[in-house]
Amino acid sequence: MREAAGSDPALVSVRFGYVPRLHYIRVASALLFWQTPFTLSGCLSNARNLTILHLDFHDEMVWFQPEHPKKLVPVFSNLKVVYLYNIFADCDLKWTLLFLEAAPSLDSFYVKISRHMCGRYKHACIDNAKKTNVLWEPSDFKHYNLNLFDIKGFEKEEKLINYVKFVMERAVALRKIHLHDKENCKQCGCINKQAPSPISSKFPNNEGENNLIRRLLANGSSSSPIEIVIR
């Protein structure tokens, strides 16, 4: 079994029995207005050999309930790769660090921020839950195995720069950071017409912007040199 759920818009609570060979779970859905977020520890309590976890929120409300990382350590102890995809753009991102704290063997961490205005995940007859911010403060932990941190939908703004620095402070073995611009979309080309960020205004040349971002991220970092790729 490779996928626990597909892209069905009606998220169904899933419970696993004894599944020692289950190593990859992908859940892609949106939360409906009558549904409530659930805990991952309760859903995945018997999936102890996961190595890849892919959660896609479809630019809607984050549909699981953040919990203390200690409750997730038994499930995430073997986790190597995490994908957190299509998080709505206004959502605070600190909650994503609970995956670092709960997965000490994590090697690659992928985050994708949705900036599409076309509602490409909307379904005509479905009422999605109202988007609400996720409030969660990470503890002062250290992660010693993360090698790659990758963000898609990156914008040159203070919120995201601070978020990357949060990860850098905790992932002391980090070697690579890849920051990708927002995706082009044929249905909502207007996303490329957003007002320029303060950094873009000061540095109209892309390479000048990128060098400034690298300096801002490296400032105060006590870890070994990190390769920062901005695309």
Look at residue 220 in the predicted model and tell me its pLDDT. 55
Residue in this structure with the two tokens 């017409």, named with its chain if needed? 193
Surface-to-core class of residue 18, CB atoms within 10 Å of its CB (0-12 exposed, 13-18 middle, 19+ buried): exposed
Query: Using alpha carbons only, how large is the chain's radius of gyration in Å?
Result: 18
- Give the integer Cα–Cα distance in Å for 210 and 228: 9
What pLDDT is stored for residue 154 in this prediction?
93
pLDDT of residue 62: 93
Q: What is the pLDDT of residue 119?
A: 58
What pLDDT shows up at residue 86? 95
Q: In which residue are the tokens 């873009």 written?
A: 200
Per-residue pLDDT at 13 = 58
> What is the model's pLDDT at position 222?
52
In tens digits, the chain (231 residues) has pLDDT values of: 233 444 343 444 566 666 778 899 999 988 888 888 889 998 888 888 899 999 999 999 999 999 999 999 999 999 999 999 999 999 999 999 999 999 999 999 999 999 876 655 555 556 888 898 998 898 999 999 999 999 999 998 899 999 999 999 999 999 999 999 877 666 665 444 444 454 444 434 577 788 888 888 887 555 568 999 998
Residue in this structure with the two tokens 């020692």, named with its chain if needed: 20
Contact 77, 58 (CB under 8 A): no
> What pLDDT score was predicted for residue 217?
85
* Helix, strand, coil percentages, rounded to 5, for the chain: 25, 20, 55
Give the containing element (helix H, strand E) for 201.
helix 198-202
pLDDT of residue 90: 93
**Residues 75, 76, 82, 84: what is their CA dihedral angle, to the nearest 10 degrees?**
60
* C-alpha to C-alpha distance for 47 and 75, rounded to whole angstroms: 6
Domain segments of the chain as ranges: 24-230
CA 218 to chain centre: 21
Query: CA separation (Å) from 54 to 112, 137, 153?
Result: 11, 22, 17
- On the CB side of 145, CA atoms within 13 Å amount to 15
